[in-house]
Structure 1
Amino acid sequence: MPSLSPLYDDTLALLRKMIRNACVNDFTPGSGQEVRNADTLERFFADTPNITVRRYESAPGRVSIVVTLEGTDPTAEPLTFLGHTDVVPVDVDRWTYDPFGAEIHDGRLYGRGAMDMLFITAAQATVLRDAARTGRPTGTLTFVGVADEESRGTLGAKWLSEEHPEAFSWRNTVSETGGSHLPIADGSDALVVVVGEKGAAQRRLHVTGDAGHGSNPYGRESAVVKIGEVARRIAAIEVPVSQDPLWQGFVRAFRFSPEIERALLEGTDDTAFEYFGDLKRYAHALSRLTFSQTILRAGTAINVLPSSATLDLDIRPLPGTTQDDVDAILAEALGDMFHDVRIERLISEPASVSSTESPLYQAIVDTFDEFFPGVPVVPTIAAGGSDLRFGRRLGGNGYGFALHARERTLGDVFHLLHHHDEYIELEDVDLTVRAYRSLVRRFCGV
């Protein structure tokens, strides 16, 4: 590793403390207890000049912290670092190292949340503290350590955006992840910046049947058979490939042969996704509206014919696809069964995407070029969700931005998210804190 950033040691120390706090969010209101990381962050910022620190508690122990470094020019563009402080549960028996020990082995820091996204959160906090010690920015610089991201932000960013929209500016926001590399077909390099994310169109499909004793099925309509046929019809849905410029730019960035590129862009041969290697599933998700059948429910006892059955669908729409569009596709797929199926909307959120022509996007591109001169930057969207969508709903721009070494691909990052033995390369901790410090100088002038 080359000479380290002066901020590296502080970033690493903070990151290890946050991992050890074990703010595990198991998707119940009482879990997470991000108050531990909020307390750690508040101590980290103690005696820092020019800042204000505010805490927001959406439920007992579910604390988000907002640290503001006020700018000198109220008309200048603000910048907000949005880092979450909760992590997902672990299967301890599947880990080689203590998931909350923050142990370092062979240049890697192991621990739940090391990649998702505590290394970014720690880098953001360290950079704001350093900027505050340096002077005053032109535009206001804010760090937010937010709770409950892993459970769709209900008690974190969503709650803040609805209950305390004045707490910080959503106008220009940086969060997870970005900054990894694409395995280009000709061996060249490209960097990823995340500019948006797919939406959610979760559905529960209900059917009914005839109840009765399992020993007397004759003449009875089976709810299980009906839901099985519903599942078969859903599986047969053929979704056309997207014509969105982000998908087209992603494909062209790989520099495949004209034949492969044409198959991907026109949707004529799905086997072409194999050429993406580890990114084939992500690329497929980026290319279209997706339907995943995830939960099937029917019956309670083996000797009772159930009177109802349900099928849950995890549906992820691209920008431009509405909830009504999704229901229309389902209705067409169900065909003559449509009137026998009740479609219930569960979590329903539109896809969101930020401009690639904003001042912040250009500053991110310029920062990438500082560290990887001449390497093209490829804007893409996330197949899952992040807290950035709440800012986009308020009219702001939000980008996933970090920085990884040349050999770390987007597929490598995806592999570690929520995985056993999650880790972050120490080199990438250093690169990310350097990149954030450079971005702040470039965008905020401090």
Structure 2
Amino acid sequence: MHHELFDDTLALLQDLIRNACVNDLTATSGQEVRNADTLEAFFAGSGAQIQRYESAPGRVSIVATVPGTDPDAQPLTLLGHTDVVPVDRARWSVDPFAAEIREGKIYGRGAVDMLFITAIMAAVTRKAARAGGLGGTLTFVGVADEEARGGLGAAWFRKHHPEAFSWQHCLSETGGAHLPTADGSDALTIYVGEKGAAQRRIHVHGDAGHGSAPYEKDSAILKIGQVAARIAAIKPEVTQDSTWKGFVQAFRFDAATEAAVLRGERYEALGQLAAYGDAISHLSIAQTVLRAGQAINVLPSHAWLELDIRTLPGQSDEDVDAMLLEALEGIDVEIEHLICEEATISPTDHPLYEALEAVLVELFPGAQVVPTIAAGGSDLRFARRAGGVGYGFAAHAIERTLGAVHAQLHSHDEYLHLEDLDLSLRAYDAVVQRFCGPAV
């Protein structure tokens, strides 16, 4: 496993973790300037063209471009984010920012999400730069603010500097984890899309008054409770699109089990992936924030409930509002839109997807490669909205199921197997060479 490219990548990953660019969703957090400085030093003398962009004080993204030598070759952009989510230090058994290595694993916040891929992307880009370039232009982007949905990172680039790098062909987090198939065959994933956001705040109103005299008062509390119960009873329709069907079929269940899972009746058959299967098979609604009242002796005249709604490709804001209004018929409500972003998906009949698939099959001979979608969000949605394609890509050892990899995201004692760092490094290096082509 230990070779110069791997050792350099591991050292960079440790530095990125130790910089502790924690994004708590406030504008002054993150301070990705630390990771931008580390990455700029990493590229020094390589021949890559470096640009820095500061969207707000300390919120620095870095772009390293290796110009292509073949005008007919396609460009490739590697989108790695440099921020990480907060930690509950009391729940960690190791220092979350020490990048400690124990028994073949590196521990630290961001080790999996997504600093290991970011370090790999930088390493293969520097390798290409030192070699004098490839056929197509290769660009690495160390993006700020992904964990807060990119307002000071990828979204900011799209609005203020759309020319900073190509959005035509993009790779980012994550992928390459394996499915626990019923027959023991190997199947592993590439993310081709992600669900959208249709966040809502539901308002109700009632009578104010003194808490000692509630007689015949119209209760906002009662109304919001009815709203919550009605929304909990919504049963969104299970999709029958090819991505969901292909995901379930990859498990190689018996026919009856497969049919039941496809109908959304046997998610438990997916084992550790039951919640993920539920999430990607239909629109999902999570009731997450409830507010009403201030003083215990005052009847509140206003209450509201916030919903984290995630949509599938093809589902619109109008569809979501119609569903909510039908469920809440007879209750006087106001529906406020919060963050709204349509779901995005890229095709599998595309040269970049085919390159990813070919590399994974080289690493895992005989494996089935399964396109799937992410239940959460990533910077790849900006590439898709810009008319490009975006795929979530990595490579994990066959023992690492998709459920096991998901379990590391935002977790206490987050860790990455060094074996997976090596596999993903080899995978990215092979994809870059294959897709960009040799220098001319």
Q: Could you state the TM-score of these two structures normalised by the residue count of structure 1? A: 0.97
Number of positions where the alignment pairs a residue of Structure 1 with one of Structure 2: 438
- State the secondary structure of the residue aligned to 2:80: strand
Over residues 54-111 of structure 1, what are the superposed CA-to-partner deviations in whole Å (9 max), with x where a residue is unaligned? 0000000000000000011233210001000000000001001000000001110000
- State the secondary structure of the residue aligned to 1:66: strand
- State the secondary structure of the residue aligned to 2:201: strand
Name the aligned partner's letter for residue 313 of structure 2.
Answer: P
Q: Distance between the aligned counterparts of 1:145 and 1:347, measured in 2? A: 24
The aligned runs of 1:36-435 (5 Å cut-off) are 36-49=34-47, 51-267=48-264, 269=265, 272-337=266-331, 340-435=332-427
Contact 2:186 2:366 in 1 (8 A): no
Contact 1:352 1:389 in 2 (8 A): yes
Name the aligned partner's letter for residue 254 of structure 2.
Answer: S
- State the secondary structure of the residue aligned to 1:16: helix
Q: Distance between the aligned counterparts of 2:185 and 2:4, measured in 1? A: 31
Name the aligned partner's letter for residue 373 of structure 1.
Answer: P
- State the secondary structure of the residue aligned to 2:397: coil
Q: Distance between the aligned counterparts of 1:78 and 1:445, measured in 2? A: 10
Deviation at 1:5, TM superposition (A): 4.3
Name the aligned partner's letter for residue 107 of structure 1.
Answer: G
Name the aligned partner's letter for residue 183 of structure 1.
Answer: P
Name the aligned partner's letter for residue 319 of structure 1.
Answer: P
Instruction: Give unpaired runs (5+ residues) of structure 2.
Output: none
- State the secondary structure of the residue aligned to 1:335: coil
Name the aligned partner's letter for residue 352 of structure 2.
Answer: L
Name the aligned partner's letter for residue 27 of structure 2.
Answer: P
Over residues 266-306 of structure 1, what are the superposed CA-to-partner deviations in whole Å (9 max), with x where a residue is unaligned? 34x2xx11111110000000110111111110000110000
Name the aligned partner's letter for residue 119 of structure 1.
Answer: F
- State the secondary structure of the residue aligned to 2:419: helix
1:5–1:398 distance in 2 versus 1, CA, 3 Å: farther
Q: Distance between the aligned counterparts of 1:96 and 1:108, measured in 2? A: 14
Contact 2:261 2:269 in 1 (8 A): no
TM-align CA RMSD: 0.8
Contact 2:9 2:119 in 1 (8 A): yes
Contact 1:78 1:141 in 2 (8 A): yes
Q: Which moved more, 1:161-170 or 1:31-40?
A: 161-170
Deviation at 1:133, TM superposition (A): 1.2
Q: Distance between the aligned counterparts of 1:173 and 1:444, measured in 2? A: 12
Name the aligned partner's letter for residue 359 of structure 2.
Answer: T
Contact 1:5 1:434 in 2 (8 A): no
Over residues 372-417 of structure 1, what are the superposed CA-to-partner deviations in whole Å (9 max), with x where a residue is unaligned? 1120100000000000001100000000001111100110111000
Equivalent residue, structure 1, for 2:19: 21
Contact 1:5 1:430 in 2 (8 A): no
Contact 1:91 1:420 in 2 (8 A): yes
Q: Which moved more, 1:91-100 or 1:72-81?
A: 72-81
Q: Distance between the aligned counterparts of 1:174 and 1:5, measured in 2? A: 24
Contact 1:5 1:433 in 2 (8 A): no
- State the secondary structure of the residue aligned to 1:58: strand
Q: Distance between the aligned counterparts of 1:360 and 1:323, measured in 2? A: 31
Name the aligned partner's letter for residue 219 of structure 1.
Answer: E
Deviation at 1:4, TM superposition (A): 3.5
Contact 2:73 2:437 in 1 (8 A): no
Q: Flag as ranges the 4+ runs of structure 1 deviating above 3 A.
A: 3-6
Over residues 212-246 of structure 1, what are the superposed CA-to-partner deviations in whole Å (9 max), with x where a residue is unaligned? 00000001100000000011100111111101110
Q: Distance between the aligned counterparts of 1:393 and 1:370, measured in 2? A: 31
Matched, 1:35 2:33: yes
- State the secondary structure of the residue aligned to 1:293: strand
Deviation at 1:444, TM superposition (A): 1.2
Deviation at 1:186, TM superposition (A): 1.0
- State the secondary structure of the residue aligned to 1:22: coil
Name the aligned partner's letter for residue 178 of structure 1.
Answer: G
Contact 1:80 1:142 in 2 (8 A): yes
Q: Distance between the aligned counterparts of 2:298 and 2:246, measured in 1? A: 54
Matched, 1:442 2:434: yes
- State the secondary structure of the residue aligned to 2:94: coil
Q: Distance between the aligned counterparts of 1:162 and 1:391, measured in 2? A: 12
Q: Distance between the aligned counterparts of 2:436 and 2:301, measured in 1? A: 62
Q: Distance between the aligned counterparts of 1:219 and 1:332, measured in 2? A: 27
Deviation at 1:260, TM superposition (A): 1.1
Equivalent residue, structure 2, for 1:8: 6
- State the secondary structure of the residue aligned to 1:314: strand
Deviation at 1:187, TM superposition (A): 1.2
Deviation at 1:6, TM superposition (A): 3.4
Q: Distance between the aligned counterparts of 2:392 and 2:82, measured in 1? A: 16
